Structure 1
Amino acid sequence: MLRLGKPQELFSSVFSICKNLTSTLVTKLDTMTETNEASQDSSQAEKRPLENESNGEAKKQKTENETVPFVRIKRRNFAMMLGYLGKDYYGMQRNPKIDTIEEQLIKAMYKANLITSEAVEVIQNINFQRAARTDKGVSAVRQVVSLKLPENPSKDSINEHLPKNIKVFSIKRVTKGFNCKSKCNARTYSYTLPTYAFAPENLELFNKTHESMEERIAERMEALSLIDGKPFHEYRLPKDKQEQVSVLLQKFKGTKNFHNYTTKILPLDPRARRYIMNLEAEKPVIVNDMEFMTLKIKGQSFMMHQIRKMVSMVIAVMRNIATEEDFNQSFNTPKYIISRAPSLGLMLNVVHYDYYNERYGKDGLHERLDWADCEEEIQDFEKNYILKDVIDTEINEKSMLSWLAQLSTSDYGLWDESKAENKEEKEEGPLDD
């Protein structure tokens, strides 16, 4: 049986035992800590490379593993107004593997860091829209596109990457739902041509039959080179003929059925009905000893080749190839043949936003889309690039004269099913601008 001593002795014994245990535990912990530190020092000593190598490796590892943070660029709706000489391009609209105005514009915006590579591939990602299509070779003085761009885009940064025959004149903020095509209430096209195109035709020669088209064209080119005994470029359109051109143009005014002024449109097709607001023949001007006249046509919308066929019909009546009765019947007849005038001289002149300007142009938040602030720059581009090319090409290549020489009795009049198929019916392309 355990014998208990006095309380003082018992307490002293317990205290002595605890002290010895504490001392032993501390000693063991110190020993373990020293062992671990030595082990770590040894490991680091084995793995530690040279100082330069360590820094280079650290930088390399950081570069490989570093993730570039995603930055969302805030984009706004803009209307961009540009002009271009269409001579060297296959129209406005973008087409794969074909050089077009849109293709050049998209590449320039990408190089200016205004759009991403994804937008280049799928341009609809930035709500890209054109106000009007222009065909191959057709120019534009004031074309408009709408799209989303970063805030405060610079037109100069785009022009740096564009060829000289394409130029952005202005970029303006527009409303959130703005679409340059649907918000456009009218378009004005102009057609510049030499006035000798309106000179009366030699109908005896025109109706003459030839063994081949080559023979006919050669004989007509020789005959057309002289008008009233003078070189064709010296012809000046008399004032009464100028007035006649103006009167004929007015026949297009109003809402009419233009199915014969395009391709692949039937007489009862609703798309054939178009509203023409205004037409005018400007006063002729003489450039390099040749007289030119500009015709301007303002309409709500136009179909493919419509302007060129309208100009062709006026020329045909002026030259006595077609009659005014033919002109009138062209809006009613199920099928009437009308040749197309050359594309040289045709240009999109103005895209009108009258309704938009009336509603938003005075709210203090949005600018008017009338481009008055850059009108001088626009006129300079039109004169030195577009009109200069039209005039120089006409003088050097005789485009209008060559087209007149190719005309025949089968180029105007009622459609005859027994004749060879109409080459224009084979053409593919958009029917509307």
Structure 2
Amino acid sequence: MVGVLSQHFFFRLALEDLSIYARRCAFAASFHMSKRTSDTELSTADAELPKRLKLEVQDTKERTTEAAGSSKFSLSTKDKKKLRLDRRRRYDHAQSASKAEHSDTPKEPRLPKRECALMIGFCGSAYRGMQFQKAQAGLPEPRTIEGELFRALIAVGAVSKDNAADPIKAGCSTSHTAARTDAGVHAVGNLVSMKMITEIPGVEDLRSDINSKLPKDIRLWGFQRVQQSFNARKFCDARKYTYFFPSYLLIPPKPGSGLDRVLREYAASQDLEVEWKDDPFWSAVDIALSTPQKDMVRKRAWRATPSHIERLRHAVKKYEKTHNFHNFTVARDPKDKTNERYMKELEVSEPCVYGETEWFAVSLHGQSFMLHQRKMMFALIMICRTGTPVSVLDELMSLTMVNIPKMPALGLLLEHPIFHGYNTKIAKHNGTKPPSDSDYREPINFDNYAEEMNMFKQKYIYDNMQRIEDRKGLFDAWIRSVDSYGGNDLLYLNLRGEVPPDAVLKKGERRELPFRERKVFNLTSFAEDDNVKVEADMWDEAEVDTEENLSKKELLEAEG
């Protein structure tokens, strides 16, 4: 009992010391103000105040430590941290208050800030991703979408100069963005929430002014007031993505390629009623005389048949509802419940011809998407082009671990996030209030900007994809690099529709011939004068795209 009372007494003593310290800080500040009589006195006092405050901090620390040590009293780590933060906060407050009182520079008038949702669109080719990134020592700040947006807001006065030095404080962080996009990934619609100044003297059309300060490949569709509790990340119910790819990716592997050989050998080793046959695309030519250049001309002229389209549409429906997507992201424990994702609807549109090439668009509407969702598209396309039964997707979404590579980043596009829950909530909040009511909040609806968004999408995203494919042959190089693989990692692509033991990954196992991905297929932009075709078989160790080991928090922040 005595020990408990002793601890309580000395804890009270520590808190009283802080109280005494606070009064001394206030006294020092008031004394300093009352004694200034000239610029010289003011300068001397300004120099002395921090010293006095430091002495007060040191005195408080010493006496608290001495008292605690004499009675074997010790604060918890949490309490110690709190005491340190309190001392630091009081010291900083006293300093800043003194500087503010003595400053000869008049402060700008404080304009009211409002919690807003900013709806934006961008072509991500020239940027290092959506999220603001601080500059590393000796290096320039990475160019990001949020970084460009923040600079534009400062330029027009929507962010005050007081907050101009800290983008994260002003709202540029993962929690304020509806969907994070990786480097090079495009978004025709995304949403950022932050506090901003919406009524600026001399500015009649704030949206136009902000757009005039943004690069042409980033657009602000609009902004609107939202509730104070609004959080773009938490309030986002779902996201819509689209993946575009040339239809010729559905042509089976070229006879004699590594993948063709492995799959033929596996089919021959199984007692199957179905035989592995050459596709008419390849049987129509002499393979020995066929070159990648000649093949490319024929691929661009190739068109998908109704059976190809039907097969794609049938397979993509396997992803709908809730499944375990551990194989479709970076290495994860298959039993981790956070691997489960709900896919609401996936659809394959009718193919369209751009230039000489036919393209497919696959729309993915899901609650959220894990890092490297392009792996979903790899499995879909490879299953369709190899004749693998779609039932294999059930195994790929089971606890079995396999290697599923990524599709090229060039084809991925975020259409827009969805805020159904928030819109329902504010509909009740608005009740019968007219839109002119200051408390009225509009629902978040990207459809209001559909015409502008579609024009931007065509000019800055679709046309860009087509130009890169025409100049660089990126998708063709990618599919030829996949077909050149002759190991066992992709043996789940077989006519039986099951994952054979040789394709299963085991924890800690060193694979004899692992499938390796290339960094070039993560790119979505190339120099305008770079017309050299991407080579399918040009390899060096620096080109290998290795997956990072990310923590759960990092993986969560990386989700879209």
TM range (shorter): 0.7 to 0.9
Query: 1:187 matched to which residue of 2?
Result: 239
| Aligned partner (choices 166, 174, 181) of residue 218 of structure 2 | 166
| Aligned partner (choices 119, 125, 140) of residue 169 of structure 2 | 125
C-alpha contact 2:178 2:192 (8 A) present in aligned 1: yes
1-structure distance, mates of 2:293, 2:399: 35
Query: 2:57 matched to which residue of 1?
Result: none
Q: Which moved more, 1:368-377 or 1:113-122?
A: 113-122
Query: 1:113 matched to which residue of 2?
Result: 157
Deviation digits for residues 262-293 of structure 1, max 9, x if unmatched? Answer: 00321011220000000000111111121011
> Quick check: 1:93 aligned with 2:131?
yes
Q: How does 1:55-94 map to 2 (within 5 A)?
A: 67-69=105-107, 71-94=109-132
Query: 2:361 matched to which residue of 1?
Result: 294
C-alpha contact 2:158 2:198 (8 A) present in aligned 1: no
Give me the CA root mean square deviation.
2.7
Paired positions, count: 360
Instruction: Report the CA distance shift for 1:346/1:251 in structure 2 as closer, same or farther (over 3 A).
Output: same
- Offset at residue 390 of structure 1 (A): 1.1
2-structure distance, mates of 1:426, 1:195: 31
Q: SS of 2:132's equivalent?
A: coil
C-alpha contact 1:201 1:321 (8 A) present in aligned 2: no
Q: Which amino acid aligns with 1:195?
A: S
Query: 1:368 matched to which residue of 2?
Result: 443
**TM-score using structure 2 length:** 0.60
C-alpha contact 1:141 1:347 (8 A) present in aligned 2: yes
Deviation digits for residues 99-157 of structure 1, max 9, x if unmatched? Answer: 11111111111112211345343223334411111111100010110010113471212
- Offset at residue 93 of structure 1 (A): 1.1
Instruction: Report the CA distance shift for 1:268/1:159 in structure 2 as closer, same or farther (over 3 A).
Output: same
Structure 2: 5+ residue runs without aligned partners?
A: 1-101, 135-140, 201-205, 263-286, 435-439, 491-502, 517-544
1-structure distance, mates of 2:405, 2:395: 15
Instruction: Report the CA distance shift for 1:386/1:361 in structure 2 as closer, same or farther (over 3 A).
Output: farther
| Aligned partner (choices 225, 244, 255) of residue 311 of structure 2 | 244
> Quick check: 1:315 aligned with 2:381?
yes
C-alpha contact 2:371 2:559 (8 A) present in aligned 1: yes
> Quick check: 1:397 aligned with 2:444?
no
Q: Which amino acid aligns with 2:383?
A: V
**TM-score using structure 1 length:** 0.77
Deviation digits for residues 365-402 of structure 1, max 9, x if unmatched? Answer: 11121133322111111111111111111122111111
Structure 1: 5+ residue runs without aligned partners?
A: 1-63, 211-218
> Quick check: 1:432 aligned with 2:559?
yes
1-structure distance, mates of 2:417, 2:409: 19
Query: 2:331 matched to which residue of 1?
Result: 264
Query: 1:379 matched to which residue of 2?
Result: 454
Deviation digits for residues 40-97 of structure 1, max 9, x if unmatched? Answer: xxxxxxxxxxxxxxxxxxxxxxxx9954145222111110011100111111111222
Ranked by relative contact order (alpha carbons within 8 Å, sequence separation 6 or more), the top structure is: 1
Q: Which amino acid aligns with 2:246?
A: P
Q: Which amino acid aligns with 2:183?
A: K
2-structure distance, mates of 1:73, 1:409: 65
Query: 2:31 matched to which residue of 1?
Result: none
Q: SS of 2:257's equivalent?
A: helix
Q: Which amino acid aligns with 2:504?
A: L
Q: SS of 1:263's equivalent?
A: coil
> Quick check: 1:337 aligned with 2:403?
yes
Query: 1:199 matched to which residue of 2?
Result: 251
Q: Which amino acid aligns with 1:334?
A: T
1-structure distance, mates of 2:257, 2:104: 81
C-alpha contact 1:344 1:390 (8 A) present in aligned 2: yes
Q: Which amino acid aligns with 2:510?
A: S
Deviation digits for residues 300-357 of structure 1, max 9, x if unmatched? Answer: 0111102x10110011111218553432211114311001000001011020011111
Q: Which amino acid aligns with 1:400?
A: F
Query: 1:144 matched to which residue of 2?
Result: 191
Q: SS of 1:394's equivalent?
A: helix
2-structure distance, mates of 1:172, 1:353: 14
Instruction: Report the CA distance shift for 1:333/1:203 in structure 2 as closer, same or farther (over 3 A).
Output: farther
Instruction: Report the CA distance shift for 1:317/1:110 in structure 2 as closer, same or farther (over 3 A).
Output: same
Q: Between Structure 1 and Structure 2, whose CA radius of gyration is higher?
A: 1
- Offset at residue 415 of structure 1 (A): 2.2
Q: SS of 1:159's equivalent?
A: helix
1-structure distance, mates of 2:224, 2:379: 39
- Which has the larger share of strand? 1
- Offset at residue 223 of structure 1 (A): 5.3
Q: SS of 1:389's equivalent?
A: helix
1-structure distance, mates of 2:108, 2:164: 20
1-structure distance, mates of 2:342, 2:183: 24
2-structure distance, mates of 1:309, 1:379: 26
Instruction: Report the CA distance shift for 1:207/1:198 in structure 2 as closer, same or farther (over 3 A).
Output: closer
Instruction: Report the CA distance shift for 1:415/1:405 in structure 2 as closer, same or farther (over 3 A).
Output: same
Instruction: Report the CA distance shift for 1:65/1:402 in structure 2 as closer, same or farther (over 3 A).
Output: closer
Q: How does 1:47-58 map to 2 (within 5 A)?
A: none
Instruction: Report the CA distance shift for 1:70/1:393 in structure 2 as closer, same or farther (over 3 A).
Output: closer
Q: SS of 2:232's equivalent?
A: coil
Q: Which amino acid aligns with 2:466?
A: I
C-alpha contact 1:253 1:279 (8 A) present in aligned 2: yes
* Percent identity for Structure 1 against Structure 2: 26
1-structure distance, mates of 2:261, 2:249: 22
Instruction: Report the CA distance shift for 1:155/1:255 in structure 2 as closer, same or farther (over 3 A).
Output: same
Query: 1:231 matched to which residue of 2?
Result: 298
